[in-house]
């Protein structure tokens, strides 16, 4: 007896009381690989549709309302949804495969099968209970502590960052287990070993660990930075550009720097009390010719975008004295994961107390015929305790200032 015959006997007959939907539901529920294949096919069909539509739109001519090579910002590109005919073409081979697995489907039209498959894909069956979750991820009676916390931590300590992230997305239980594991990793880091005196002292120790001890920040390579390539080419076309004419550095500060200070701040060491509007009277001749007006842009970013900016500049120090344990598996991804989890935990605490947290990215590009000034500020501000009015009683700040200057 073949596998198809066995599965056919285990499935109910198609009758008036049993629809094709229920037959496919039973088939895909018992054979989860088919259910996963269906989900992948539908997902990639939607992704490919979006890519094809964007490629088609890019090949079209500019609209008639384009003036001075600028397109109206109100234009919205709508990607049409896939039609039933599109899904019939995409799922054709999958339907034929289902018919080899379940011969009863040969009696049903392809369109009816595809409609039922799309309905199942939109509301799939519940996941099969996992023994790993039931046994290892069992909670204690308090509903918070994992009964096998030590065993789970040992298992997770052998996993790389990609595997941990994939595991955290598998279910709510695995997400909670990974979260608890990262809490334990953060708890054993050096900045948690000293007695906490004030919020500021603890904040300084956290910044010192992630930005100085465990890792240092280096400026991004401006020669490959797309937004200023045009400015670079303009300067190179008129003057020779030796390496010593370019200088860049990164400053990490906890000073309160407002976004517009990026225009007026001291280039070597930005601080709020050194910001001056007399930018045209600085010693270097490059500042005299630069056009500073309307060259700074700022935007609100997410925690993930903040971590991405951090990772672009990060160089990890795999020093056992810094980490207090074997750093063989320490890399930039792991350090970014720890920082992201720390910031998310901090965000949760502040928001629970009606606080405010804001990530911001500010960029200044100002150029002259013989020079370029480029500055990027990636900032984080924490504010809480608004009991006495609109001004917060507690604030913490962080600014990553990546400054570059080219003066021929």
Both tokens of 292, joined, read 């500073």
The string of pLDDT tens digits covering residues 41-54 is 887 777 676 666 66
Both tokens of 109, joined, read 């039209």
pLDDT band at 189 (very low <50, low <70, confident <90, very high): confident
Local structure of 138: helix, strand or coil: coil
Long-range Cβ contact pairs of 194-201 (< 8 A, separation 24 or more):
199/394, 199/396, 200/254, 200/396
Are 380 and 306 spatial neighbours (Cβ–Cβ below 8 Å)?
Answer: yes
105: buried, middle or exposed (CB in 10 Å: 19+, 13-18, 0-12)?
A: buried
HSE on the CB side for 157, CA within 13 Å? 12
Q: Is the pLDDT of residue 194 over 80?
A: no
Beta strand pairing call for 371-384 and 394-407:
antiparallel
Give the DSSP letter string of 193-244: TSPP--HHHHHHHHHHIIIIISEEE----GGG-GGGHHHHHHHHTTS---GG
| CA diameter of the chain | 91
Where helices occur in 283-373 by DSSP H, the ranges are: 286-289, 303-313, 320-323, 332-352
pLDDT band at 327 (very low <50, low <70, confident <90, very high): low
- For 42, 195, 215, the CA distances from 101, given in Å and listed in that order, are 20, 65, 55
The string of pLDDT tens digits covering residues 75-123 is 444 445 667 677 777 788 888 888 888 888 888 888 888 888 888 888 8
CA distance 146 to 139: 5
pTM to 2 decimals?
0.67
pLDDT of residue 399: 94
User: How many other CB atoms sit within 10 Å of the CB of residue 38?
Assistant: 20
Question: Which residues share a beta bridge with 15?
Answer: 18
pLDDT band at 242 (very low <50, low <70, confident <90, very high): low
């Amino acid at each position: 007896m073949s596998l198809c015959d066995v599965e056919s006997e285990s499935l109910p007959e198609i009758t008036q009381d049993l629809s094709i939907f229920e037959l496919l539901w039973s088939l895909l529920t018992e054979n989860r690989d088919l259910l996963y294949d269906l989900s992948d096919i539908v997902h990639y069909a939607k992704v490919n549709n979006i890519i094809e539509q964007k490629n088609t739109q890019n090949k079209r001519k500019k609209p008639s309302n384009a003036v001075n090579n600028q397109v109206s910002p109100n234009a919205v590109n709508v990607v049409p949804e896939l039609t039933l005919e599109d899904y019939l073409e995409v799922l054709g081979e999958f339907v034929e495969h289902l018919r080899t697995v379940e011969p009863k489907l040969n009696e049903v039209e392809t369109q009816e099968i595809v409609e039922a498959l799309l309905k199942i894909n939109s509301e799939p069956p519940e996941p099969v209970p996992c023994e790993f979750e039931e046994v290892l991820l069992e909670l204690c009676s308090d509903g918070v502590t994992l009964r096998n916390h030590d065993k789970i931590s040992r298992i997770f300590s052998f996993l790389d960052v990609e595997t941990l992230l994939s595991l955290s997305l598998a279910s709510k239980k695995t997400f909670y287990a990974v979260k608890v594991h990262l809490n334990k990793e953060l708890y054993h880091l050096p900045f948690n070993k000293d007695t906490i005196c004030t919020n500021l002292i603890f904040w300084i120790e956290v910044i010192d660990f992630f930005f100085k001890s465990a890792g240092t920040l280096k400026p991004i390579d401006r020669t490959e930075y797309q937004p200023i390539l045009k400015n670079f080419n303009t300067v190179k076309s008129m003057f020779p550009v030796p390496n010593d004419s370019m200088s860049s550095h990164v400053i990490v500060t906890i000073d309160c720097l407002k976004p517009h200070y990026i225009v007026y701040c001291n280039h070597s060491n930005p601080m709020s009390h050194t910001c001056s509007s007399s930018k045209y009277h600085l010693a270097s001749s490059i500042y005299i010719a630069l056009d500073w007006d309307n060259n700074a842009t700022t935007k609100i970013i997410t925690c993930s975008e903040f971590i991405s900016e951090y990772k672009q500049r990060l160089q990890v120090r795999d020093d056992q004295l810094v980490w207090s344990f074997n750093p063989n598996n320490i890399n930039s991804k792991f350090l970014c994961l720890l920082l992201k989890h720390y910031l998310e935990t901090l965000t949760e605490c502040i928001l629970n107390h009606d606080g405010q947290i804001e990530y911001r990215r500010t960029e200044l590009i100002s150029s002259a015929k013989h020079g370029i000034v480029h500055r990027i500020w990636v900032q984080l501000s924490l504010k809480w305790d608004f009991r006495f009015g609109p001004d917060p009683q507690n604030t913490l700040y962080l600014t990553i200032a990546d400054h570059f200057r080219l003066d021929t």
